Structure 1
C-alpha cells in the first residue's frame, strides 16, 4: 500500500485492486479512522476531511489485506435477460444465450465502489476468463435499469446515459433514491445476485 497526502486534509491510499480497496475502506471505518469521508475506488481509497494526517497514516499502516471481499448485505436484483448484446457475449464466452444467463446469474457479485453516476456500482466477481471488451462505439443512450458488462465489471445503469457496456438485460429495481436512508441500493460492500425473470 502506498499512502500519498492530497492537500492539507486528505490521504490517498493506493492498493493492488478493488477487493483490497473495499477491504481497506471497511477496515478503516470499523477502526474509527479520523476522516469525514472514506471513499473506495478501483485501486485507491480516499480519506478526506482528516484532522490529523500523521495519525491517520500511522493507523493505516496497521492494516493487512485479507484478500477476501467484506461480506455485506445481500440484495437480489430481478433481471429480464433480453439485452441487445446477449448474442455477442455468448459468442465471446463460447456458449449460447441460456449459458450467458446461467453463468451471469450464478455469480455472487460484490459492490466494490460507486462512480460514473449516482447509484452506479462497479460490481466485482466476474471471473477474468469471462471479461468482455467494451463496445467499440458507445451507445448515445442506455436505458435506466440496463444490466451490463465491461471488462471484468458488472453494473446496472441507474439513469439514462451514454454507455459502452455490453447489455445483457434490464431490471426495474431503483438503484438510486435520495429519499431512502441509504440512497444507493448497491452501496460498496453489498453482495449482489441477479435473479432471472
Structure 2
C-alpha cells in the first residue's frame, strides 16, 4: 500500500486501514478526510466505514466482494483526497454551564491540577477542539485539543448514571455525553444542546473533523435550552 499506510484483514468481512502505528489520542486530518469521503459517498462495495484515532475499519459483504476490491477502493480514495483542496472545517460553539450541580467534578479537576475552579473553566472554554471520531454511545465526540494543564485521570469507579449533555474530561481528552449513560469521565459542566436526536437528519450534531469551542454560560442561559448553539459552515 502506498502513502505509508498499512491495510490488513480484520475479519472475513472487514479491512483495517492503519494511518499510524501509534493509536495516541490526537486528531489526524488524513484519517478524517479519508473516513468522511467514504461515509459521504458510500461507494460500492462498502457497507460502512468506522474511524478511530489512527485507523478506519471498512465493512463489506464477503459474499459479493473480494478483499482486493476493497484494497483498490482504499487506493482510489487516498489518491482522491491527496489531490483535493482541504476544506475549512465546520465550527460549532457549544454553550456550557460549568460547575455546581452541572459539574460535580469541577473542583476535583482543579484540585488535582493545582488550579482554582474558575481557572479550569477559563482554560477549558478558551480551547479549540477537533472531533477525532464518534463512539462509545451515539454521537459521543472524542475531542482532541485539551490543554495539558487540566488533563485529569478518569474516576476510579465510574458513575452508573451521567446526564445527557454532560461535558467531561477523561485523561488527555474532553467530550460530551449525548445520552444518559454510565460513565467514568470527570464531569465539569453541562450543555442543553442535543448532540443526538434520532428524529433529526443527520441524527448526530457533530461529525469527524468538526471544530468545537465551548462558551461558558450561567444557569439562566442554560435553562433556555439549545438556542445558544452557534455554527459556522466550512
TM-score by length of 1: 0.85
SS of 2:118's partner is: helix
- 1:27 Cα shift? 3.4
Find the structure with the greater CA-based Rg: 2
Runs of 4+ in 1 over 6 A off after TM superposition: none
Query: Partner residue of 2:56?
Result: 45
Higher helix share: 2
Counterpart selection for 1:24 from 10, 31, 39:
31
CA distance in 1, matches of 2:71, 2:137: 33
User: Could you report, residue by residue, the CA deviation over 1:85-129 in whole angstroms, capped at 9, with x for unpaired residues?
Assistant: 111111222210110000000001111111111111111111345
In structure 2, the residue corresponding to 1:56 is in which secondary structure?
helix
Q: Deviations over 1:122-177 (max 9, x none)?
A: 11111345321000111111111111000111111111111110010111100101
Tell me, yes or no, if structure 1 residue 7 matches structure 2 residue 11: yes
- Alpha-carbon RMSD: 2.6
Indicate which of 195, 198, 201 corresponds to 1:175.
195
Q: Cα deviation per residue 1:65-101 (whole Å; 9 max; x = unaligned)?
A: 9xxx985211111100011111111122221011000
Q: CA deviation at 1:44?
A: 1.6
- Rounded to whole Å, the distance in 2 between the matches of 1:145 and 1:81 is 12
SS at match of 1:99: helix
Partner of 2:230: none
In structure 1, runs of 5+ residues without a counterpart are none
2:97 pairs with one of 80, 84, 93: 80
Give the C-alpha shift of residue 60 in structure 1. Answer: 6.5
Flag structure 2 segments of 5+ consecutive residues without an equivalent: 218-234
Counterpart-to-counterpart distance in 2, 1:54 and 1:112: 23
| Contact residue 124 and residue 147 of structure 2 kept, 8 A | no
Q: Distance in 1 between matches of 2:15 and 2:191?
A: 37
Matched length: 193
